[in-house]
Structure 1
Amino acid sequence: MDFLIREVLPTEYAELGEITAHAYLQDGLLTFGEADWYLGELKNVAKRAAAADVLVAVEQDRLLGGVTFVPSPGPMADLARSGEAEIRMLAVAHAARGRGVGEALVRACVDRARAAGDRTGIVLSTQPLMRTAHRIYERLGFTRVPERDWNPIPEHPEFTLLTYELTL
């Protein structure tokens, strides 16, 4: 691995926010008019870092991608239950894809959840279109939990996020 995984620095918030927003936009993941609201959430790394751990993959001084690790239920958790950690907003810059960056970021989250010692599992939500991410999750031992699928946009009942979990 020719890159490092570490916590994001405040001076990198804006850049990581742009990488995350561009990844979601370029992959066609903001499809129901939520772009304005959710784009702001994706860009607001300072907000995420205040409530969770934001990790980045860095090659020399260049950010390759990032992920939000939510160690327990709280303001940044969408579906974590007691004893669970959650992964959110995984994004890899298009130029860095295919190098194992996404997998390394997910592994770092799993390692943090295990190191906590009291986490029973780790969960995440993903869109059906995120097939590359699904393969990463499955390769790392995550399994689909259809009974925990959910809809964050009630006015669009056809929009469902898929849930994956890993038992620790």
Structure 2
Amino acid sequence: MSGPSEKSGGPLSYPSGRLGTMDIVIRQAQPGEYEALGEITAQAYLQDGLLSFGESDWYLAELRDVAKRAAAAEVLVADLGGRPIGGVTYVPSGGPMADLAGPGEAEIRMLAVDPAARGRGAGEALVRACVDRARAAERTGVVLCTQPVMHAAHRIYERAGFVRAPERDWNPIPGVDFTLIAYELTLSTAQR
């Protein structure tokens, strides 16, 4: 995959090399897309069996509430041919959307790609866009947490240079045996 290209302040484009003439464009989600992006995120988690209680899982409402995320962080969308096929929440520093980020760190949350659109590079492009934003903002690193069974996501993170940070693993639901595993990417001065 080649790197991003920026067109006079416009969105970043990440050609995947597998799409022919159509590029995946990573850009900020627009309010009119929040509902569709929320449903893509919810369905990705549901279809992958990542919600303990299925449709009644409390986290499902959080996944669908893109407006809430956009009010507290930056929600990016992967656009293919004019339609959203995935999204991610980029937390530039602290605030209500940060779970793991320490001082100077950015965080990635709720990465999801429409199951029908997977394998085209959207997930990787979304992660790289977050890393690019963190570098541009001179963050010291990027962190994220993921479920142990999200093997495809782990491969995306590892290809982007993230490493496991087991000392940051945590349980978001006290009293329930549910641990999220952590990854981190250190951004050195030489990488900026």
Q: Deviations over 1:63-94 (max 9, x none)?
A: 11000000001110011111100000000001
Tell me which of the two structures has the higher relative contact order, counting C-alpha pairs closer than 8 angstroms and 6 or more residues apart. Answer: 1
Residue 164 (str. 1) matches residue 172 (str. 2): no
Tell me, what secondary structure is at the counterpart of 1:106?
A: helix
Do 2:51 and 2:57's aligned partners in 1 also have CA atoms closer than 8 Å?
Answer: no
Unpaired runs of 5+ in structure 2? 1-14, 16-22, 188-192
Equivalent residues in 2 for 1:68-87, closer than 5 Å: 68-87=89-108
Partner residue of 2:156 out of 136, 150, 156: 136
Q: Residues 33 and 150 from structure 1, CA distance in 2 versus in 1: closer, same or farther, beyond 3 angstroms?
A: farther
Q: Deviation of residue 153 (structure 1)?
A: 1.1
Residue 51 (str. 1) matches residue 64 (str. 2): no
CA RMSD of aligned residues (A): 1.3
Q: Deviation of residue 33 (structure 1)?
A: 7.3
Do 2:46 and 2:54's aligned partners in 1 also have CA atoms closer than 8 Å?
Answer: no
Unpaired runs of 5+ in structure 1? none
Distance in structure 1 (CA, Å) of the matches to 2:41 and 2:54: 18
Q: Deviation of residue 35 (structure 1)?
A: 4.7
Q: Which residue of 1 aligns with 2:146?
A: 126
Which of 1 and 2 has greater Rg? Answer: 2
- Give identity over the alignment, percent: 74
Tell me, what secondary structure is at the counterpart of 1:132?
A: helix
TM-score (norm 1): 0.95
Equivalent residues in 2 for 1:18-37, closer than 5 Å: 18-31=39-52, 35-37=56-58
TM-score (norm 2): 0.84
Distance in structure 1 (CA, Å) of the matches to 2:40 and 2:86: 7
Q: How many residues align?
A: 166
* Ranges of 4+ aligned residues in structure 1 off by more than 4 Å: 32-35
Distance in structure 1 (CA, Å) of the matches to 2:184 and 2:39: 28
Higher mean alpha-carbon deviation, 124-133 vs 30-39, is at 30-39
Tell me, what secondary structure is at the counterpart of 1:111?
A: helix
Q: Which residue of 2 aligns with 1:113?
A: 134
Tell me, what secondary structure is at the counterpart of 1:164?
A: strand
Higher mean alpha-carbon deviation, 105-114 vs 31-40, is at 31-40
Q: Deviation of residue 61 (structure 1)?
A: 2.0
Residue 15 (str. 1) matches residue 54 (str. 2): no
Distance in structure 2 (CA, Å) of the matches to 1:84 and 1:62: 31
